Amino acid sequence: MKINLTVEEKAFEANVKDFLASELPSNIKQKVLQGRALKKEDHVRWQKILYEQGWAAIDWPYEYGGCQWSAIQKHIWAAQCAISAAPEVIPFGLDMVAPVIYTYGNDAQKERFLPDILASNVWWCQGYSEPEAGSDLASLKTTAVIDGDYYIVTGVKTWITYAQHADWIFCLVRTGSPQTVNNDALSFLLIPMDSPGITVTPIISMDGAHEMNEVVFENVGVPIENRIGEEGKGWTYSKTLLNHERAKLAHVAVSKNRLQELKKAAHDTLTGHGSLMDDPRFSAKLARTEIELTALEFTEFRTLIAESNDTDPGPESSILKIVGTGVSQSIDELFVELAGLYVLPFIDPESAEKFAGTQIIPKQTINTARLYFNNRKASLFGGSSEIQKNIICKDVLGFDLNEKRGEK
Amino acid sequence: MNFTPSQMQLELKESITRFIDSEYDQVERRNMLASAEGFSNVHWQRMAELGCFKALFKATDGGNGGTALDTMMLMEEIGKGLVIEPILASQILSGRLIVETCSESAKAKLLPQIISGALTYASGLYEPLGRYDLSYVSTRAYPRRTGFSLTGRKNFVLNGGDADKILISARTGGAENSKGGISLFLLDSDLEGLSIHRYKNIDSHAAAEVILDGVFVERSANIGELGQVLPGIEAAVDAATLALCAEAIGAMGELNRKTLEHCKTRKQFGVSLSSFQSLQHRMADMLIEYEQAKSSMMYAVVMSDENHGIAPKEISAAKYRVGIAARKIAQEAIQLHGASGVTDELDISHYFKRLTTIEVQFGNNDFHLNRFIELSREEEDIN
Ligand SMILES: Cc1cc2nc3c(=O)[nH]c(=O)nc-3n(C[C@H](O)[C@H](O)[C@H](O)COP(=O)(O)OP(=O)(O)OC[C@H]3O[C@@H](n4cnc5c(N)ncnc54)[C@H](O)[C@@H]3O)c2cc1C
């Protein structure tokens, strides 16, 4: 998608480019370019640089540290970040818990939590899912029972991304009596990860990475003042939040940049009949993906405009999430096809470059398999693609999903 | 057209299933993956005893099977059990290379040790710049007074770091990718000038890059006719490709079974996942994919057996169709398992990685689609 920029917008773009060129640390950029995992320090370092610049929380309201950027400016920012291989901001603090705090929290909570989130002084994780409550989040069983000034929290949260790094976890927990209908009994609690009674156990993913964790709460005391908003309203709060989360999960700018990389790599890949770009089958797949991505970009743009007119991202965010995930996963697959046999060696990038002095895998394909494996999660977390379609069915098309389910 | 297994084939199949169920559990397999060797010699010997290797060779070559149907029946079980012993690289690809290219006397010398499982073999046929082109051979064999000197690079050599013997395609004539002038050499793995860099593939099978820097071999190391082995290499790779298809079918069948079982037991929203019609249809699609892939694989098996092991067009069709199904089924299996599907702990992800590997080995989907088109055109030109 090409947009004609105004003079001011062009100046803004130049400013963004300068900033990224001078401030993005080169070792972080290298890791992003090679698709390698970033360390906690890398993320924090970059987010603190953004904070210094005043660009850490572009979507926040201005009064709390947001940027007041137009939809076009946000678009420029995302595009330039992707082109410069800047890491994506870790969402749990800045994009996920902060909007709940500044929307539903009291003044004391805003003062206590927002500045540290903005400055990336604390690392947050999201404690929603449970072994028995995945898609059906509202059936979660972790309980929080009042005892004096405290909630006593007991239960198991699972698949929690980066809990091993986190200082705080935001959780949906069951308050209220067991008789209360499912989602009227959920509350939104902020819990320090160093509270006595919390145990974190790693879960290793198929690409060998340690991202997910199981987090067990055994009689963990949490001050009542750590509850956001009213008791029993946690579900409503987090639903709004999920809409924000989903809209971001389209990853348009990143996909656009990866598609460019893919094209370059296809030109460089020889097949015996010229380059892979000359193979009509491969280039047709590339073209189809590009068409889909451009349409997605415009869909996203339409939502950004709507948002800047103060409409909350509603069910459209489900479309962004489904299509965005689909496009990014098809780019993964095209990289797999491009790499051919080079998909196979599972060598960490550091040793591959030094491998007896020879490069065993071309640089552009070194992380192909890892990324393909890792990104299978995209259609699961933040509400799976099937659940997004259910949301569309219910909220847009008006179907009653419980009607005669499974009956004949 | 005959694809009814014989009594002997059924018995072998049954004993392998029993072996995998009782001695080849996933815990054991994981320990093996973590070990330095990467596969178990004990299992290797057991497979030899059970007759797995014999089944892959004709009676005239010292075996008791040797048809594509024999291979298929074995490899489906191997796929189900996610077996990592190098049966494909050693027995099937290398064994078949010897069968296709060697004189009777050379076969009589080499095959017994393969069939008994005493030695394992690897074959270096692909090169870093050749993509899937078997005629792209830039490795050169220069004649010397009593033999040859080999220089070049082979990559993606399955079992290359663990094999006792390595077969290498090298050029004794012709330009880099001409069809003539390709010869086959049998190397011991400890020769001077030979460096072997072992690594693990995404599916935990071991492979290697093999660098030949003036490796001297005696004249007797040249097996097969000098400069004329490309058709033999292609036939052996086709046989291995078909074996991989059968392995994929075994793995896909298992993934479908596990996914169905999961959806029947996992409850969300107070009901089992399998009660959602959208998911029922997804599982129906997985079954359709499986059956279509299986049919194209079986058709290639039958055609291969009816045409003395030669059925390139049908094998390409099978590899393409299996590749499409493999990707789809592997992805759907993870998706329907939810987050547990992407963990290392559940074997769903291990099947996913094996199927991804199979999809790209010996030519990916586009490669075989292109090859199918070319072969169809050639056929039409002849008719
Ligand atoms: C890498 C990764 C990181 C994650 N990080 C976090 C995190 O930080 N915090 C957190 O709280 N959670 C996290 N999750 C969990 C994620 O939100 C859940 O995986 C997701 O909600 C799905 O739940 P489940 O895995 O239990 O699958 P299930 O709910 O068991 O679903 C299995 C399959 O059935 C489908 N399905 C379920 N119900 C229906 C229906 N009604 N109709 C049609 N299809 C249906 C699903 O779409 C899915 O394909 C993470 C997951 C992954 C994979």
Q: Express each pLDDT in A190-243 by its tens digit.
A: 999 999 999 999 999 999 999 999 999 999 999 999 999 999 999 999 887 777
Express each pLDDT in A17-60 by its tens digit: 999 999 999 999 999 988 888 999 999 999 999 999 999 999 99
Cβ atoms B110, B122 nearer than 8 A: no
Instruction: Give residue limits of the domains in chain A.
Output: 7-89, 124-231, 249-407
Which chain A residue lies closest to B206 (C-alpha atoms)? A345
CB of A139 closer than 6 angstroms to any ligand 1 atom: no
Task: Say if residue B30 is exposed, middle or buried (CB neighbours under 10 Å; 0-12, 13-18, 19+).
Answer: middle
Q: Is the CB of A343 less than 8 angstroms away from the CB of B360?
A: yes
Q: How far is the CA of A136 from the centre of ligand 1 (A)?
A: 8
Note the CATH number of domain A249-407. Answer: 1.20.140.10
- pLDDT reported for residue A408: 36
**Single-letter residue type at A1:** M
Size of interface A-B (CB pairs under 8 A): 145
Which B residues 300-329 touch A at CB under 8 Å? 327
Cβ atoms A246, A320 nearer than 8 A: yes
Q: Find tokens 């709390």 and name the residue.
A: A64
Beta strands in A70-209 (DSSP E): 124-127, 143-147, 150-157, 168-174, 186-192, 198-204
Q: What is the ipTM of this complex?
A: 0.96
| Domain B122-225, CATH class in plain words | mainly beta
Checking if the pLDDT of B267 tops 90, the result is yes
Q: Which one of A129, A203, A356 has the shortest CB-CB distance to B195? A: A356
Query: What does the angle CA A257 – CA A259 – CA A260 come to, to the nearest 5 degrees?
Result: 65
Helix, strand, or coil (residue A99): helix
- pLDDT reported for residue A311: 66
How far is the C-alpha of B205 from the C-alpha of A367, rounded, in Å?
A: 18
A126, A183, A206, A328: which to substitute to probe chain B, counting the most B Cβ within 10 Å?
A206
Chain A touched by B277 (CB under 8 Å): yes
The model's pTM: 0.96
- pLDDT reported for residue A179: 67
Alpha helices in A249-405 (DSSP H): 252-268, 280-308, 316-339, 349-354, 368-374, 385-391
Checking if the pLDDT of A5 tops 80, the result is yes
More confident residue, A109 or B24: A109
Helix, strand, or coil (residue A161): coil
Mean pLDDT of chain A: 91
Number of continuous H segments (helices) and E segments (strands) in chain A:
14, 8
Express each pLDDT in B290-346 by its tens digit: 999 999 999 999 999 999 999 999 999 999 999 999 999 999 999 999 999 999 999
Instruction: Give residue limits of the domains in chain B.
Output: 7-119, 122-225, 231-382
Mean per-residue pLDDT for A247-251? 79
Region of poorest pLDDT, from A101-110, A324-333, B34-43, B96-105: B34-43
Q: Which of A372, A381, A385, A392 to mutate to test the pocket of ligand 1 (most atoms within 8 A of CB)?
A: A381
Helix, strand, or coil (residue B160): coil
Q: How many CB atoms lie within 10 A of CB B156?
A: 22
Domain A124-231 bears CATH identifier 2.40.110.10: yes
Helix, strand, or coil (residue A127): strand
Express each pLDDT in B330-383 by its tens digit: 999 999 999 999 999 999 999 999 999 999 999 999 999 999 999 999 999 887
Helix, strand, or coil (residue A273): coil
Q: From the CA of B175, how many Å to the nearest CA of chain A?
A: 13
Q: How far is the CA of A387 from the centre of ligand 1 (A)?
A: 9
How far is the C-alpha of B282 from the C-alpha of A379, rounded, in Å?
A: 15
Query: Where residue B148 falls among pLDDT bands split at 50, 70, 90?
Result: very high
CB of B59 closer than 6 angstroms to any ligand 1 atom: no
Checking if the pLDDT of B153 tops 90, the result is yes
- pLDDT reported for residue B56: 97
Looking at chain B, the whole-number percentage of residues with pLDDT higher than 70 is 100
| Domain A7-89, CATH class in plain words | mainly alpha
Q: Which one of A132, A340, A345 has the shortest CB-CB distance to B131? A: A340
Q: Is the CB of B199 less than 8 angstroms away from the CB of A134?
A: no
- pLDDT reported for residue A352: 60
Q: Is the CB of A355 less than 8 angstroms away from the CB of B197?
A: yes
Express each pLDDT in B31-63 by its tens digit: 888 777 778 899 999 999 999 999 999 999 999
CB of A212 closer than 6 angstroms to any ligand 1 atom: yes
CB of B315 closer than 6 angstroms to any ligand 1 atom: no
Note the CATH number of domain B231-382. Answer: 1.20.140.10
**Single-letter residue type at A345:** P
Note the CATH number of domain B7-119. Answer: 1.10.540.10
How far is the C-alpha of A85 from the C-alpha of A72, rounded, in Å?
A: 20
Mean per-residue pLDDT for B235-264? 98
Q: How far is the CA of B252 from the centre of ligand 1 (A)?
A: 23
Q: From the CA of B103, how many Å to the nearest CA of chain A?
A: 32
- pLDDT reported for residue A347: 80
Region of poorest pLDDT, from A271-275, A368-372, B47-51, B196-200: A271-275
Looking at chain B, the whole-number percentage of residues with pLDDT higher than 90 is 89
Which chain A residue lies closest to B133 (C-alpha atoms)? A272
Q: Is the CB of B278 less than 8 angstroms away from the CB of A389?
A: yes
Q: Find tokens 């709507």 and name the residue.
A: A306
Q: Which of A92, A124, A159 to mutate to test the pocket of ligand 1 (most atoms within 8 A of CB)?
A: A159
Checking if the pLDDT of A318 tops 60, the result is yes
What count of residues does chain A have?
Answer: 408
